[in-house]
Amino acid sequence: MKYVIILPDGASDEPLPQLGGRTPLEAAHIPHMDSVAREGRLGRVVTIPAGYTAGTDVGTLTLMGYDPHVSYSGRAPMEATAKGLTTTPDQLIFRCNFVHLADGLMRDFTAGHIAQADADELVASLNATLFPGETCAFHPGVSYRNLLFLSRASEMDLVCAPPHDIADQPVAAHWPKGEGEARIRSIMARAHDLLADHPVNLRRRARGEAWATDIWLWGQGIQVPLASLKERFGLSGALITAVDILRGIAVGMGMDLIQVPGITGYIDTDYDAKGRAAVKALDDYDVVVVHVEAPDEAAHQGMAEEKAKALERIDEAVVGPLLAALRARGDYRILVAPDHATLVRSKAHDLLPPPYCYAGTGIGPGSGRPFTEADAAATGILLDPGHTLMEAFLAN
């Protein structure tokens, strides 16, 4: 039996006037996803348990079959695992975004989707800067997404807002709060001073690009080990993604990471390359997981049409080729499941339970419905707790 899991990040949404009162899933031409939903099981799943912030970290952990109450470590530690980084007992790991603040607002939580070379240069400068009384180690990631390891911080108890959830909002109400807040704000303030006249930012401003005015620290935690896919289900697995949080979860699960040139974690990603790599991976692995960040990024930018187009490209370049390859092989199952909703209207993640569908050998009868939020709700199926979905999908 071969298993495929497609994770269209943030695909779920609400009806939008820009799309004639339809959601992006309803507006998009996605015949292959619709086929999976019609032929198999369709419903909704609670990917974000009560008390947790809607995000790819919690949502994907849930979809991969882990109870966040037991296994959630915070977003940053998962990304550190993806890089092979480990902490000392006194350290706390933070996600460190380069952002653009202006007039007290979170104008751009990506600092203009800052180029990798620019981000790497800024991280190097942060590491070369003296932070009096602090032991800070900044680690480069992908574009604006980086990490900070902070020593003597394991006792901190902070609430930190994800910057993508406060797009275009005043930041004054969202600074880190709690035990250790003064220390964290001081690091952020000193980084602001460093970035103000940094050569990278001067070049970006001269080109008319958004620049990194600040770092935003959030997603903090310590590393928590995960039971592997092999230990839990006796299966080998591989993941294709351009996003470190997914890489971290996969490494924690003992899965291999398949590197694909041309994938970006944005709407300009190479969908076809992802599809080709996933089909090839079926030769070597029992479970192949493909994550595509593009729908989420489009929603964060408030781009309804681009979100629908991203879903169409996922369907055409990833789901379609994988379905054809699976059907040619024999016994198979395929699951399509967004990790959470991301609303174009608010440009933020949302707690709405997203739809899921899976089909294949031993699954039936089919729902007869397409893959939309309304049709999933109409089935009356709501998986709660959501981490039970993985076991149901893999069950023989």
For every one of its 396 residues, what pLDDT tens digit does the chain have, with 9 covering 90 and above? 999 999 999 999 999 999 999 999 999 999 999 999 999 999 999 999 999 999 999 999 999 999 999 999 888 998 998 888 988 889 999 999 999 999 999 999 999 999 999 999 999 999 998 787 788 999 999 899 999 999 999 889 999 999 999 999 999 999 999 999 999 999 999 999 999 999 999 999 999 999 999 999 999 998 888 999 999 999 999 999 999 889 999 999 999 999 999 999 999 999 999 999 999 999 999 999 999 999 999 999 999 999 999 999 999 999 999 999 999 999 999 999 999 999 999 999 999 999 999 999 999 899 999 999 999 999 999 999 999 999 999 986
Question: Three-state SS for 2?
Answer: strand
Asked, for residue 82, whether it belongs to a domain, the answer is no
Query: Which residue, among 324, 315, 338, has the nearest Cα to 389 in the 3D structure?
Result: 338
- Alpha carbons 29 and 328: distance in angstroms, whole number: 24
pLDDT at 157: 94
Asked, for residue 18, whether it belongs to a domain, the answer is yes
Asked, for residue 290, whether it belongs to a domain, the answer is yes
Contacts 24+ apart (CB under 8 A), 250-259: 250/82, 250/289, 251/81, 251/82, 251/84, 252/78, 252/81, 252/225, 252/226, 253/64, 253/226, 253/228, 253/229, 254/228, 254/229, 254/230, 255/229, 255/287, 255/289, 256/285, 257/82
Asked, for residue 86, whether it belongs to a domain, the answer is no
Asked, for residue 78, whether it belongs to a domain, the answer is no
CATH number at residue 49: 3.40.720.10
- Among 159, 189, 221, the domain boundary falls at 221
User: Do 117 and 216 reside in the same domain of the chain?
Assistant: yes
If one counts the domains in the chain, the total is 2
Residue 87 identity: T
Asked, for residue 383, whether it belongs to a domain, the answer is yes
User: Do 232 and 267 reside in the same domain of the chain?
Assistant: yes
Asked, for residue 81, whether it belongs to a domain, the answer is no
User: Do 246 and 300 reside in the same domain of the chain?
Assistant: yes
User: Do 107 and 196 reside in the same domain of the chain?
Assistant: yes
Where do we find the tokens 């250790």? 180
- Among 191, 221, 251, the domain boundary falls at 221
β-bridge pairing 237-240 and 287-292: parallel
Tallying the residues shown for the chain, one arrives at 396
Asked, for residue 84, whether it belongs to a domain, the answer is no
Domain encompassing residue 192: 92-221
- Among 178, 202, 221, the domain boundary falls at 221
HSE-up of residue 176 (Cα within 13 Å, Cβ side): 23
